[in-house]
Chains A and B, each alone.
Chain A
Amino acid sequence: MELIKKTNFDFLSYRKYFYIISLTIIIAGIISFALRGKKNFGPDFIGGDLLQIQITSPVSSATIRNYLQPLDKFQIRVQTVGSLHNQFIIRSLPNTSSIILTQLQDTIGASNIKVLSNSVISPTMSTTLRNKALIAFFIGLIAILIYIAIRFEFHFGITATIATFHDLLIVMAFMALAGKTFDSTLIAALLTIAGYSTNDTIVIFDRIRENIRKTRSTNYMEVFNKSINETLSRTTLTVCTVVFVDLALFFFGGEALHDFAYALLIGFVVGAYSSIFIASALIISWQKKNPFKIKL
């Protein structure tokens, strides 16, 4: 079977539109992030409690919220888990979950509540967790960028780096716009994306190099378009297989993996997109403005 036969799209002539699309998403993400303030961050970054409970008879999350009305100062957020309406995740300020649990036990009856999980993260600990996650992220990112710098010639290296940052910003924008929280899990997803998204860029650049060597052409626009078309089938297929698995994690993997799978999903798709419309396109734009010869 072959889904993508020989194609001959002119991807790069429309590059300006794609720059605009990407920039718009990133700016929207930044605005959304700025407006949400502290709500952007998960408990492992700013401290906070999480209580996951199961109740014998189903109720709405509004009812739970109502029960907890007197404890409003704890900044309680209630989220329903699953479709049975009997599991809830209750987030609140640090060291308040035991009071919340007592309040619920008094209202519904202690025997009707089962505590599935409970985490208490004090601000001291969240500082450590946050720093640890950020250090891991930056060391990882720098290592990946060093590899790119060693492996590619100057212009390819710079644009591949920009494409990587582009992917990370777009994923963060989608997280902010979807109201998801930034935490250690997201950092892990971001680093994975930084590693994986260079994948497609590398394959396309590899082909560009090969084609330039073969044809000795300096009509870069043509060689680039040709290379992208030649690797299009492969780019699409590999993104598809990893997205299949990720969709399975997203839909069946349960609450705990939901946001992680969401971030990766955006990252994988954007990684493929940026290898064509950002990484390759930027070299052409750069070349048009400031003609240079690509060294092999």
Chain B
Amino acid sequence: MKNHYIRLFIIAAIIGLCIWAIYPVQQKIKEGLDLKGGVHIVLQVEKPLNIPHPNMSDVTNRALEIIRNRVDALGISEPSIEKSGMDRIIVDLPGVKQPQQAIKIIGKTALLEFCLVSDNQQKIAEAISGKVPKGYQLLYSEKRNANGVMEKSAPLLVKVPPELTGADLSDAQVGYSNSGFPVVSLTFNSKGTTKFSDVTSANVGKRLAIILDGIIQSAPVIREAISGGKAQISGNFSLSEAKNLALVLRAGALPAKVKVIYKQIIGPSLGKQYIQDAIHAALWGSIVVVLFMIIYYAGFGLLADFALVLNILMLLAVMAVFKGTLTLPGIAGIALTIGMSVDANILIFERIREELKLGKSPRGAIDAGYHRAWSAIIDSHVTTIIAGIILFYLGAGAIKGFGFTLTVGLAANLLTAVFITKSIVDYIVDAKGVEKIRI
């Protein structure tokens, strides 16, 4: 007797946990790019021509850093930028407003420039008032504040054309100064060495801004004339800031060309239409299945329907906990799970019917039904779960979502069919002392 209550308590606890996991739904379950609308692009990083044996992985890392800077500048929430293989970069920009323009900006080759900063107060005032003097540009640096929002710094007025560009630089590395602070060491190539020597000797005491794609990365002061082609930027930066600056400089020194080899733009209205259609279909499908089970198996059908609802609840809870995203094929997977989830129960109920026909008591028929159907249930689920797992791990794009919902849905189904409905049936038959069952 006590045993029943423990099992019913476990079921209630599972339901409670699931609801807690998925509430509030809008926040917990993220929509995939196909439903939300947005841009998905795959970029191929091309081999730099001026280097005989480039380390493609490194080249890609640099390109990735540049793309990250650009995406940050676009101000898109929750972008995803990933390296794929040695020489590809996958960028997901959900909800981007002007997709074509965003793609254009991201696909540009990096531009690294070194420009002198003007300290002429009159010109700066003019520029800030909106009239930028000829031969100058007003530029900003950007930093993420504590809340993760990009903020522009106070502007600097820089002289154009730039004194040097990325083509003059050959390397940049993080090192340590004699006093132990992180510094960034630059090495210029022969052409760069001459130019850098000229600039530094003529402008001691002025600032030289390092600009990537129009955004100031750093603006160190020129302390002395440097003629050896090697310079050091020291300042108040942390190791990670120094590393970042070195990376930006290296990336600009060897700008890798990227080519868009795959682009998918989904407008927000189409995403909405997808969701509407798919949910509409899933609802219709489940209504038919739910009604069918009640009509066909009466009270037992109701039980199977309860299991079905619980099944979906568990599926959504797992999705919320593992931060899975819901895609269009994912919704199709949920719908199919609804169709397949009654499968196990049908197998059991049909078996119970057979056992009853053989003249067994309700208790005996139920035990035999669950016991005998068990091996067929396991077997039939395992092969489909294998398919689901493979699609989740190896599938491309939105198909992953299908593999996920299919696998989790079927696994949840095993639990509901075998533990949850069995517990409830046991409780009703034993506690209520049922003499006859209709199925």
Partner-B contacts on A (CB < 8 A)? 1-3, 44, 52, 54, 114-122, 124-125, 129, 132-133, 135-136, 139-140, 143-144, 147-148, 151, 184-185, 188, 191-192, 194-196, 198-200, 202-203, 206, 210, 230-231, 233-234, 237-238, 240-249, 251-254, 256-257, 260-261, 264
Question: Contact: A117 with B328, CB < 8 Å?
Answer: no
In whole angstroms, how far apart are the Cα atoms of A260 and B267 in the complex? 22
> Which of B48-56, B66-74, B336-344 faces chain A?
B336-344
Question: Contact: B265 with A119, CB < 8 Å?
Answer: yes
Q: How far is the CB of B269 from chain A (nearest CB, A)?
A: 6
Question: Contact: A249 with B332, CB < 8 Å?
Answer: yes
Give the size of the chain B interface in residues (CB under 8 angstroms): 69
**Beta-carbon contacts under 8 Å, B33-58 to A:** 42, 44
With a CB–CB cut-off of 8 A, which chain A residues contact B2? none
Question: Contact: A132 with B350, CB < 8 Å?
Answer: no
Question: Contact: B406 with A192, CB < 8 Å?
Answer: yes
B150 within 8 A of A: no
Partner-A contacts on B (CB < 8 A)? 42, 44, 260-267, 269-270, 273-274, 276-278, 280-282, 284-286, 288-289, 292-293, 295-298, 328-329, 332, 335-336, 338-340, 342-343, 346-347, 350, 353-354, 372, 375-376, 379-380, 382-388, 390-391, 393-397, 399, 402-403, 406
In whole angstroms, how far apart are the Cα atoms of A191 and B385 in the complex? 11
Question: Contact: B278 with A254, CB < 8 Å?
Answer: yes
In whole angstroms, how far apart are the Cα atoms of A178 and B274 in the complex? 24
Q: How far is the CB of B67 from chain A (nearest CB, A)?
A: 17
Q: How far is the CB of A58 from chain B (nearest CB, A)?
A: 17
Question: Contact: A136 with B332, CB < 8 Å?
Answer: no
With a CB–CB cut-off of 8 A, which chain B residues contact A188? 329, 391, 395, 399, 402-403
11 A-B residue pairs with CB within 8 Å: A115-B267, A118-B264, A120-B262, A133-B395, A136-B390, A140-B394, A196-B387, A245-B336, A247-B285, A252-B280, A260-B332
Question: Contact: B384 with A184, CB < 8 Å?
Answer: no
- B350 partner, pick from A1, A210, A237, beta carbons under 8 A: A237
With a CB–CB cut-off of 8 A, which chain A residues contact B379? 151, 202-203, 206
Q: A135-B394, A140-B386, A202-B376 are in contact. Are A264 and B44 (CB under 8 A)?
A: no
- A144 partner, pick from B264, B270, B387, B393, beta carbons under 8 A: B387
Chain B: CB-nearest residue to A139: B390
Q: A117-B265, A119-B264, A206-B376 are in contact. List 12 more A-B contacts (CB 8 A).
A: A140-B386, A140-B394, A192-B387, A192-B406, A194-B387, A199-B343, A203-B379, A203-B380, A241-B289, A252-B281, A254-B276, A254-B281
